[in-house]
Amino acid sequence: MPTSLLAKIDQMEDEAVELHAKLVSIPAIGPANNGTGEKDKADFLTAYLKEKGFGEVKSYNAPDDRVECGYRPNLLTVIPGQDSSRTLWIISHMDVVPLGDLSLWKTDPFTMVREGDALYGRGVEDNHQGLVSSVIAARALLDAGVTPGINLGLIFVSDEETGSEYGLEYLLKEHEDLFRKNDLFLVPDFGSPDSTLVEIAEKSLIWLKVTVEGSQCHASTPEQGVNSLVPAAAMIMEIPELKFQFDAEDELFTPPYSTFEPTKKEANVDNVNTLPGKDVFYIDCRVLPSYDISEVIEQVKGMAQYVAEEYGVTTKVESVNKHQAAPPTPADSEIVEKVLFAIKEVYNIEAKPGGIGGGTVAAHLRERGYQTVVWGTQLGQAHQPNETGSVKNTLGDAKVMALLPF
């Protein structure tokens, strides 16, 4: 592959920033997070790719009656390679998370702002950076008239932030004929600021919903009811004990142990002088693969039963999202070796395989036996206010991607 191809990517800085800005301006929040879905962003990307010389852009629509159009789009386009029997797939996601506390943002989250190398806006890192890098890499190939060694396929999925049922999981269930077992997969949805982490393994994921029910009454006569907030708080305080029950460590991961964190809390009552009769909170669990997640769920249910008996309430523990970790991608597999080589070529550093606690769509691929790496050069700004991306990282990662299908 001519070195001029990588130089060409450097010349595409303005186009990369422009694409970043357009993607930020199109909110794509899923219905589970009270959004309208990804259709508008998918429509823009389809038109953009066709305008820039990509061939057929297909949309595989997962039915979802929670959004106005009735479906969640998943886009796919392929640049044919010299060997058309296999494909390097780069998979990024179109959806973003909600804004959180708007007062913490210094700029309009849906209007991208550039300050030097930094880009600010919802989604600039998670996952627009990987998406833009993949598009710029593919455009460089097309514009230079370079045919990759194997097919280069780009996939832009919906619903990554809330489980992937309408995204990659839908494609794998309904359209797995798109993929071959000797295909290679890169998911640019997690990484380290120094480019060194090549993710080959993920922890198991469990999101638990805990409901505590007592009896609502006026706060001035608490003896007439049962305050649900107190036992809910008591159980929340017990959650850290799980790390002592599941205390194994694995140095492949950072952090090397399982984590159990109370997170979201639903509103209970609207006024101060009412004793709440129902409280709902959630627990985010990232569990080392050596544990069966059913063991964790049973342990939490046991905690809930103890709280119910101690405080005279009823409790219920439900799994709203769970995924047993898939076997890791072998550290000596072809995709890992290709990514390590390309990182060395572009960034002149020695990267190494590792594991993470965050869940990505790679889990759905690994459990079906596909060679998959998660990698990107990222600042660690996902889901934060003032989410920050990098122009330099966008272009550098595009160079790495351009090397992979050869």
Mind telling me the catalytic residues?
Answer: 95, 160
Q: Reduced to 3 states, what is the DSSP secondary structure of residue 74?
A: coil
Q: Reduced to 3 states, what is the DSSP secondary structure of residue 156?
A: strand
CB 274 within 8 A of CB 219: yes
Name the burial class of residue 381, with classes exposed (0-12), middle (13-18) and buried (19+) by CB atoms within 10 angstroms of its CB: buried
- How far apart CA 194 and CA 325 sit, in angstroms, is 26
- How far apart CA 227 and CA 216 sit, in angstroms, is 7
262 vs 203, 211, 321, 355, CA distance in Å?
17, 13, 15, 23
CB 323 within 8 A of CB 363: yes
Q: Which H/E stretch holds residue 46?
A: helix 39-51
CB 201 within 8 A of CB 325: yes
- How far apart CA 295 and CA 314 sit, in angstroms, is 22
Query: At residue 89, what are phi and psi to the nearest 5 degrees?
Result: -100, 130
